[in-house]
Amino acid sequence: MSELYHECGIAAVYHMPRRPRSPLCPSQGPDEASRLLPRMLLDIQNRGQLAAGMSTINLRRRRMLDTHKDIGTVSEVFRLSHQGKSESLMRRYAGRAAIGHVRYATCGAEERSYAQPFERQHIEKRKWFSFAFNGQLANYGELRAKLLDGGDRHLSRETDTEIIMHEISREFSGDRRPALIDVMRAVAQRFDGAYSLVFLNAMGDMLIARDPLGIKPLCYAFDGSLFAAASESVALLNLGFPEDQIVSLEPGSAIVISKGELTVERFAEAVPPAHCFFEWIYFANVASTLDDRSVYLTRTALGERLARLERERPLTTIDSDTIVVPVPDTSKAAADSMAFHLGIPSREGLIRNRYSGRTFIDGGEDRRAKAKRKYTPLREVLEGKRVFLVEDSIVRSTTMSVLLDRIRELGGAKEIHVRVACPPILAPCFYGIDMSRVSELFAPPFLSADGLTDRAQAEMADALGADSLRYLPVDALAEAIEKPPEHLCRACVTGAYPTDCGQQLYKFALDKAGQPDDGRTYEIVRS
């Protein structure tokens, strides 16, 4: 699934004053709690590897609120491989509180100015703030058009992050002094889409918020004087917070830290959530727990369902020459589970070059060339074998086609049967995954009004060059995640979107299917 672009990840840390010092605080002292931020970002690096950054607050600095960000991985941006340079950065940006971000570009250019956090400087401290977010505003085009209405305004970037910055700024205009929770109440009325965000201002106030549908994950923990929040629980667990202290923030809720006090408040009415199912099957770290459901257990349940289908409706013989091979790395739990329940070996027949970078980041090569460079088949594992190749999903199919060719030619496999731990992707995502056009997706041309039929899967197998292909049905998702179907966003596999603007964009994307266009769907639509 390396052709599926990542989302982003956010993190925050705050050492609360006038409280007993937490043992989790850095040894350098509470005023350097910001040192924890790069560690947290490393743990959610899986969510974005294009850029990273953090903003910190220190009221004794001339630049009380200051931001460091750049293109690159967390290690590159924070110079973690160079002790002297890393220590210099940590001293320069030392602060009692910090927010951070790892980015992959779902919209906007791949340059430093698009890296987050975004900082807005102002002579008034209450209007000087920095923020970062994970998600995508489906009504980006509409909001952008309204901001530019009048002709004397200008937006310097093609990204909804800048839109959010101006929408927040609007709430502080003039002499208005709204509470942060009221700012969220106001902007939430104008936002359609997914947004988990972290906010820090020059007065030392922090806001952590999750959109009313809870599409993107966000969790937090509090131990004595130390508060921390992140897109995934693994970042908090590795700081030392006990697992039972890590809590998912309720959708439509925000945490506000102001004047040394922490409060959790609602900014939107409670509605049924629409958690992105892709978080469990692909995006999240396998060690994370999201909204009380383990990522690892979800993926093993998907693998068990694959095995069940293979027993009930076999498409090939299973004998002593049959093995299961995961596409590294996120499909390994599903592959291992499938193999276990079928009573056959799971083998690492494909080795991923962990230092080649994500296939969608490098320029100058097409996807096929990048995929060839990224995966190496092991002939000693694959030769003469009937292979069940397990993948998280097939989005554009380029990577899968390359893998099948290489497993046959270099690996010497006699048969390859693709098993996908996800239903077919038939619709774009407008909430933070970079697949916004119907025409870029592999499955839609093969699907008819009858849905996912055996014939459709056979035709897709022929197109890929596989001996057979099987997807999981849509109902397998809720079963594996152990949540009601109506509490999941499954728009990309059903075409039913949880927000009005998402549904409108899908109609537009269907109309544009097969036509030349100049960008992603939500960047084309301006009103």
Helical (H) or strand (E) element with 53: strand 51-57
Structure tokens that stand for 220 in this block = 């937090």
Burial track 306-324 (b if 16+ CB lie within 10 A, e otherwise): bbebbeeeebeeeeeebbb
Q: Tokens 């933070």, residue? A: 432
Is residue 419 a contact partner of residue 388, using CB atoms and an 8 Å limit? yes
User: Do the strands 97-103 and 375-377 form a parallel or antiparallel pair, or are they unpaired?
Assistant: unpaired
> At what angle are helices 367-374 and 398-409 packed, to 10 degrees?
50
Strands (E), 155-308: 193-201, 206-210, 219-223, 226-230, 247-248, 253-258, 261-266, 275-276, 289-290, 293-294
User: Do the strands 275-276 and 488-489 form a parallel or antiparallel pair, or are they unpaired?
Assistant: parallel
Distances (CA, A) of 143 to 134, 146, 191, 236: 18, 5, 8, 34
492 is catalytic: no
Distances (CA, A) of 462 to 188, 416, 455, 516: 47, 12, 11, 27
In order, the DSSP letters of 266-296 are ESS------EETHIIIIIS-TT-EETTEEHH
Three-class secondary structure of residue 502 per DSSP: helix
Determine the Cα–Cα distance for residues 366 and 59; give it in Å rounded to an integer. 48
Name residues whose C-beta falls within 8 Å of residue 89's C-beta, 6 or more positions apart in sequence.
Answer: 68, 78, 79
Bond before 272 cis per omega within 30 degrees: no
Other Cβ atoms within 10 Å of 154 Cβ, number: 7
Name residues whose C-beta falls within 8 Å of residue 416's C-beta, 6 or more positions apart in sequence.
Answer: 387, 389, 404, 407, 408, 466, 467
Determine the Cα–Cα distance for residues 241 and 246; give it in Å rounded to an integer. 7
Q: Which of 8, 219, 422, 429 is catalytic?
A: 8
Q: Tokens 């909804």, residue? A: 160
- Please choose, from the candidates 359, 466, 470, the residue with its C-alpha nearest in 3D space to the C-alpha of residue 414: 466
Determine the Cα–Cα distance for residues 285 and 295; give it in Å rounded to an integer. 7
Question: What are the catalytic residues?
Answer: 8
